[in-house]
Amino acid sequence: MSTQPNVVPLNTETPQTRLGAPAPLTPASANTPAGAQQNLPPKHDESIGDEAFRALDRMREALTAQTTGGLSPASLALAFMDWSIHLASAPGKCMELALKATRKAGRLGAHMAATGLAADEHPCIEPLPGDYRFAADAWRKPPYNLWAQAFLLNQQWWHNVTHEVPGVTPHHEDVVSFAARQFLDMFSPSNIPFANPQVVDKAIKTGGQNFVRGFQNWLEDANRLVTKQPPVGIEKFVVGKNVATTPGKVVFRNRLIELIQYSPVTETVFAEPVLIVPAWIMKYYILDLSPENSLIRYLVGQGHTVFCISWLNPTASDRDLTMDDYRQLGVMAALDVVNAVVPDRKVHAAGYCLGGTLLSIAVAAMARTQSDRLASVTLLAAQTDFTEPGELALFIDDSQLHFLESVMWNKGYLSADQMAGAFQLLRSNDLIWSHLVQDYLMGERTPMIDLMAWNADSTRMPYKMHAEYLEKLYLRNELAAGSFMVDGRPAAIQNIRAPMFVVGTERDHVAPWRSVYKIHQLTDTDVTFVLTSGGHNAGIVSEPGHAKHHFRIALKHNADISLGPDEWAAAAKQKNGSWWVDWHDWLAGHSSQVRVQPPAVGAAAKGYPPVADAPGTYVFQR
C-alpha cells in the first residue's frame, strides 16, 4: 500500500447552502398529530443478544472462511438438503430422469454407430451458446468427438436433475445447479491432457515440451500468488504511462476520493461538464485504458469537460465507512467541486456499475429536495432493481451475507481476491479452465491485454459499506421499493426528472441487461436505453472503429407505453458500431447549443487548486 497523501480539508458547507438550492423538506414526523405515533408498530432496533456472544460466533465464522474460500457451509448445506429431500420424495421426477438417461445413452450409442460409418457425421448435441471448448475441428474426430458428446449429454442430464424438482426454493435450485456445473467442468475432456486433441497434437509436435513449459508456468504463477505479486505480463501496462494516460489534474482530494479534471483538447467545449462516477469495486481507469479505447479521452476529444472520481482503496482503518459516506464524500463532494469549477452550469452525471447505483441514490435524494443541478443522468451497466441480479445472487442470501459480514468484521474489509474468485467462478470456462489449458497444458502464455491488466488491479471494500450494500439492495431491494433512506427520508427513483441514458450489455454476468432495463418501470422521466454487444466490461469499453460491434437503441418518453425487455429488443433499431457516438450526440442534444471557452483547471480561489497530475495517487494504492 502506498503512503496516503495529505488530506485536503473538506468544505463544511452543504450543497444546499453553497449553491442556493431550496431548503430541505420538513420531516414528515414533524407534522404528525399528537398521539399518532402510538399507533405505529413497535421498532426492534435493539438487539436482544449480548455482543460478546455474537463476537464469538463471528470469530468462528471468520476462521471457517479460511478453509471455505468465504462460502457459507450452512448456505450450501441448506441448498443441497432442500434439493435432495425434494428429489428423493418426487418419484415422478426420478422416473423422468431415468427415462432421459436411457434416451441419452441411446443417442450416444446411435452416434457412435453412425460415426463408424461416416466420419463427417453430425454431432447429436451441440454445446451451449458461448461454450467454445469443443469448437476446434479435431473434436469432431473419434475418439475425441465421442468423449465430447458424452460430456455434453451428461451435462444436459445434470441440468435436468437440478432443475424443476417440485418444491425446491428457486435460490437453492440455482445454487445446486451452479455447484453441479462447476463440478462437471472440472472433468471436462478439454481439461484432461490425453482427452484433448489439441493438447495431444501439441505434445506430439513438441516432444512433450509443452508439459515442461506448462509446469514452469504453473510454478511461476504459484510463486507470484504466494508472494502476492501481480500476474505475468501486467508489467507491460503501467498506470500513467500506457494506461490511464489522458492528461489532467487532481483538483480535489478527501479521505475517500480524488477528483480528476481532464485537460481540454478543443478550442471550445460544451458548457455543461460531465462527471463520471465509477464503481468503488474497481480502479477508475477502466474508462481510461489505452489511448485508443479510452472513453474519457473520447469524450474530451468531442469537446466535453470531463471530471472523474478515483476512489480510495480502503484498508482496515476504513472499516466503518458507510454507503452514505460514499454518497456524501464521493458523489456530492465531487458535484460541489464541479459546480465550483464550472459555475452556473448544470452537470451531466454518469455512473458505471456500482457507481451508477450510488449515483442513482444520490440523484434520487437530490430530487427529494428539488435540487436542479443535473442536466442528465447516465447509467452504464448499473442496476437499480435487484430482483433479478443474475448469477451474483448465488453468493447472496441471509446465511451467506452473515458469513461474509463475519469475514469483513474480522479484517475490516472484503479482500480483492475474494471478489475476484467469485467473478471467476461465474465465468469459470473463460477465466479458469481456458487459462489452465492454454498456460499449463499447451504451455503457451495467454497474452496479457490492457483490460486483463486492469482486471488484476483490484480493490477492497470496507466492512460496513459493503454489508449495507448487500443487505439493503441485493437482499431487501430497498431502492426499487422506494424505502432506501437518505437523511431519514426515502430516496425514490420515481422522483428523478432529469433525462436518462441507460446502457445494458448482452452478456453481462454482473448486471444482466434485463435487470438494468427495469429502470423503465422505476422512473417518471424520458429514458434512452441502449443494449450493446459484449459483457459487463467489454460492452462498455466499446470504442468506435470495430465493425463487429453493434447495439440497439430506443427512446421511451415518460408518457409512452412501457414494453417488456424482450418486446423492446425486438422493436428497437439495431445499429453497427459503437454506442459512444450516440451517447455523445445525446449529451450534445441535452447541452447548450453555444459552445464556450474551456474552464480553468480547478478553482484555487474557492479552495480547489490542482494538487497532482492525473491519474493521481489513490489509483496506485494496492
State the catalytic residues.
Answer: 353
One-letter amino acid of 146: L
Q: Is 28 exposed, middle or buried (0-12, 13-18, 19+ CB in 10 A)?
A: exposed
Report strand pairing: 374-380 vs 347-352. Answer: parallel
C-beta separation of 579 from 532 below 8 A: yes
Handedness of CA 220, 226, 227, 228 (dihedral sign): positive
- b vs e for 565-581, b when ≥16 Cβ sit within 10 Å of the residue's Cβ? beebbeebeebebbbbe
- Which DSSP symbol is given to 500? E
Q: What phi and psi values does residue 275 have, to the nearest 5 degrees?
A: -110, 120
Picking from 289, 287, 234, 618, the residue whose alpha carbon sits closest to that of residue 448 is 234
Q: Name residue, grid cell 452514505.
A: 324
Cα-only R_g, the chain: 27
Residue the block writes with cell 510463486: 223
Is 512 in contact with 387 (CB distance < 8 Å)?
Answer: no
The alpha carbon dihedral of 380, 381, 385, 386 has a sign of negative
Partners of 573 in the β-ladder: 553
Count CA atoms within 13 Å of residue 367 on its CB side: 22
Q: 548: how many CB neighbours lie within 10 A of its CB?
A: 8
What is the rounded CA–CA span in Å between residue 142 and residue 146? Answer: 6
DSSP state of 543: -
Work out the number of other CB atoms within 10 angstroms of the CB of residue 210: 21
Beta strands in 180-256 (DSSP E): 248-253
Round to whole Å and give the CA distance between 190 and 196.
Answer: 5
The Cβ of residue 156 has, within 10 Å, a number of other Cβ atoms equal to: 14
In whole angstroms, what is the distance from residue 174 CA to residue 288 CA? 36
Residues 189, 195 contacting (CB under 8 angstroms): yes
Give one word for 84, left, alpha or beta, with left for phi > 0 and alpha for psi -120 to 50: alpha
Instruction: Assign 3-state DSSP to the chain and report helix, strand, coil percentages, each to 5.
Output: 50, 10, 40
